[in-house]
Amino acid sequence: MTKVYVGMSGGVDSSLTAALLVEQGYDVTGVYMKNWTQDLPGMKCPWADDLADAKRVAVQLGIDFKVFDFENEYRHKVVDYMIEEYKLGRTPNPDIMCNQEVKFKLFLETALEDGADMIATGHYAKAVGGSWNMVDGKKEFNTDASHLPSTIYHLQQAADTNKDQTYFLYRVTGKALQKTLFPLGEFTKPVVRDMAKERGLITAGKKDSQGICFVGKIGIREFLSQYVEQKSGAIIDKRTGKKLGHHDGAIFYTLGQRHGLDVGGGLPYYVVGKDMDKNEVYVTTNLNDETLWRDTVGLQNLHWINSAPQPGEYKIRIRHRAPLTDAALTFTDTGVELKLHDQQRAITAGQSVVIYDGDVCLGGGIVA
């Protein structure tokens, strides 16, 4: 009997994930990953409630339940990374780092050491095993051959393209996917909710979590201000060079941002750049500003789930939930250069661009 450790966050998705695995005959253990427990000013960290919910579901399902304490590693690998990136004037994506370093590395390793054969999460994604065959001189991925030594594991988009979370998962490894189950990959969110309800899971009606897990309800700005000193600087109109107002730190602003500038009069202003040394934020009312719309992007810090792709035409995604768009990929000394067929708005340094071949998520990199 395959022993599976399910990451249970106390939400609907991971609850149903565990329930489905039980029904499918796995030997299931629920695991709550304790990543962040600190209260923040103006917000109580909901970890205790989430843990309680996860535990209640585990009891409901009659499965073993454990807590893995990753607080230390999470703080270093995810939170520190995030703060450092912001300090450099970039806009990181901590959830991608969390998946890379914690869920599909630390959790996986810890679970395996603890006796698990596989892990599972409630992500909307598919891990598909198979191997490459030559058919009529063309490479084909044969999923029937998922037991061969040559088998590799692909990350594929979820059936529910609206909820697909492969964007957040592009930095996992094919090797990790081999040990991973994504039972929700075939279902749409409404169906998941219904199934959770049918099974009487106490989390069935729980609202989807949003925002960075540990930041939760409060904003990134409030979170960051705990770690960096607020320093007043100028908000400057890019076209006229005129000073329009003040901000409390360029670190709090990101490309394309509209709100929080407290400058008004006429048209809305959008952030089009910033200078961390001068602590200046540049804005414009020009919706077509050339730094806001780009059709080329350089990627560094590349990560490929299996192997690096050949140069050529691919689908890419610039941010979570953005539609896939066409781009030509070439390699450079430092990484990858993408030439997009259509311009995309606010491609931001520190954010990730994820590359797809059809439904298959190949990997990606971080915007230089």
> What residues line the site for RNA (CB under 7 A)?
11, 13, 91-95, 99, 121-123, 163, 165, 167-168, 208-213, 215, 219-221, 254-270, 319-321, 345-346, 348, 351
Q: Are 180 and 103 in contact (CB under 8 A)?
A: no
Given the complex with RNA, which of 130 and 184 has the nearer CB atom? 184
Given the complex with RNA, which of 15 and 351 has the nearer CB atom? 351
Q: Is 213 a catalytic residue?
A: yes
* Distance from C-alpha of 163 to C-alpha of 187, rounded to nearest angstrom: 10
Minimum CB separation from RNA for residue 189, in Å? 7
Residue of 18, 54, 213, 215 marked catalytic: 213
Given the complex with RNA, which of 24 and 162 has the nearer CB atom? 162
* Helical ranges in the chain per DSSP H: 12-23, 47-61, 71-74, 81-87, 94-97, 107-113, 166-169, 174-178, 189-198, 220-224
Q: Is 98 a catalytic residue?
A: yes
**Count of beta carbons in the 10 Å neighbourhood of residue 137:** 5
Minimum CB separation from RNA for residue 269, in Å? 6
Given the complex with RNA, which of 27 and 34 has the nearer CB atom? 34
Minimum CB separation from RNA for residue 96, in Å? 7
Q: How open is the CA angle 301-121-207, to the nearest 5 degrees? A: 105
Minimum CB separation from RNA for residue 27, in Å? 23
Minimum CB separation from RNA for residue 128, in Å? 18
The helix/strand count (H/E) of the chain reads as: 10, 18
What HEC string does 188-222 produce?
Answer: CHHHHHHHHHHCCCCCCCCCCCCCCCCCCCCCHHH
* Distance from C-alpha of 158 to C-alpha of 171, rounded to nearest angstrom: 17
Q: Are 272 and 284 in contact (CB under 8 A)?
A: yes
Given the complex with RNA, which of 99 and 130 has the nearer CB atom? 99
CB neighbour class for 210 (10 Å; exposed up to 12, middle 13-18, buried from 19): exposed
- How long a stretch of residues is the chain? 368
Minimum CB separation from RNA for residue 164, in Å? 8
Judging by DSSP bridges, how do beta strands 64-69 and 27-34 pair with one another?
A: parallel
Q: Are 19 and 61 in contact (CB under 8 A)?
A: yes
Residue of 4, 79, 97, 98 marked catalytic: 98
Given the complex with RNA, which of 120 and 360 has the nearer CB atom? 120
Active site residues: 98, 213
